[in-house]
Each structure stands twice: as structure tokens, then as C-alpha cells.
Amino acid sequence: MKITKIKQVSNQKYHLVLDDSEKITTNEDVILINHLLYQKNVNEELLNKIQIETAYYNLFYKTINYINVRLRSEKEVMVYLDKNRATIEEKNQIIDKLKQLGLIDEERFAKAYFNDKIYLSSYGPYKIKEELLSHNIDSSIVENLTQTMPYEEIYSKLEKMIIKKINSNKNQSNYLLNKKLIIYFINLGYDKDMIVDILSNNQVSDENIIVTEYNKIYTKLSKKYQGTKLNSLIRQKLYQKGFTYNQIEDFLK
């Protein structure tokens, strides 16, 4: 068999046209590796080699496109190659080549990931640290990042989120709200002391909330209960909402 024509069909793709009119789709790397610009005669062994190498380079460039969307950790690339049914040899070759090209760089990935999460997400430092470690990033790289984190910017970011939560509160006492916010933001990866400090500086009066809750409870219970029983149940419901004994008694007076 003989190659009669080599035709470029896209940026990396080429058609090898054989003398029996058969077309083989391959890429530039395979053509150069096998000197196909000059060697026109091909046998079954060479055709098989071309097919194997074409599959490899197709996967290689597909992986580069995957990385170009955003930086990837080595673990993400390995998972991606597994999904594309790469052999162990193909995975090792592609990973090594991508490292040589600087397309896989764990330290650069960790810095970019950390900054994206700090500035573009609601995640706190501990959550980000946990996620980086789940990417199999070296613990020394992660520790260096967390030690140099911008404390004031993280504090400001957290404060804005907490104030937004406080301002949207319509029916919970400060005590109950604070308890929930502490758990919520710890789960997002923030330091408890930082959360408590911000909450202590942004307390709002329970007065309007207790009035609203009292009216709702009274309207519902007064249809069925009266007198001492009604007052007892109202006290119980307000206490369950997180209002203190003194708050409830002062309000009811």
C-alpha cells in the first residue's frame, strides 16, 4: 500500500489517503514520528503502529484541552484518563509529558485553587485545606498556603456573609441564630473564634423578633387555649425559639 496524499482537515488532524482510496485519520505527531512525509509505502505493521499512536495522541490532546479549561491536579488528570479508558502505560506517558510541559504542577495548582476558593467561593481556609489534601497535594505545600493566608480579607469576607445571614433572619432569637451560624460557618471551614468574634460585634435586638413570634404563636394557640394554659404554652414556644426566660417574662409583662 502507498500513501498518495496527506490532507490537513483541522488544526491537528490529517487524512492519509491510500492508493486504494482508503482514508486514515491521524495527527501531525504521528506523521512526523513515522516520517510519513517522505515514506510513502506502508505495510500492515506500520498501519497498526499508526493506529496505536493516533489513539495515544488523540487522548493526549484531549487531556490538554481538559486542562486548558482550568488548572488540574495530577489526581484529576488520572481520574480523567481512567474515564477515557487509558492503559497504565498511556497514563504514565501522558502524566510524565504533561509534567515536562508544565501543564501539571501541583504547587501552581494549589495556589490557584486556594486563591479561587478564598476570593470566589464561600469556603473558609480549613475547608479549602481539606479539599487540597483530597487532591493528594503534598501536605507541606498546603501548610505553606494556609500559613500565608490573608487573615484580614478572610475576616472581612466572613463578616459580610454573617451580616447577610443576620439581616435575613426573621424568626430566630440571637441565641438560636448564633448557635446555627457557628455550626454553619465551621462546616464551611472557618475558625470558631473568628466566627464568635464577628457575631459578638454584630448582635441585633430580639425585640422585633419576639413581638412577631409572639403574635404568630398567640394567633394559633388562642383558637384552642385560654388563660393560664395559653400563657404557659406561649412561654414554652418562645423558649423553644431560643428566647431566654428573662426576655420572655419581660416581654409578657
Q: Which CATH class is domain 106-149?
A: mainly alpha
Q: Which long-range contacts does 112-121 make (Cβ < 8 Å, 24+ apart)?
A: 112/70, 112/71, 113/71, 113/73, 114/145, 114/149, 118/149, 118/150, 118/153, 118/154, 118/157, 119/153
CATH topology of domain 3-100: Arc Repressor Mutant, subunit A (1.10.10)
**pLDDT, position 213:** 74
pLDDT tens string 172-203: 777 788 889 999 999 999 999 999 999 988 87
- Give the lowest-confidence range in 32-36, 97-101, 211-215: 211-215
pLDDT at 126: 93
pTM summary value:
0.72
pLDDT value of residue 205 = 65
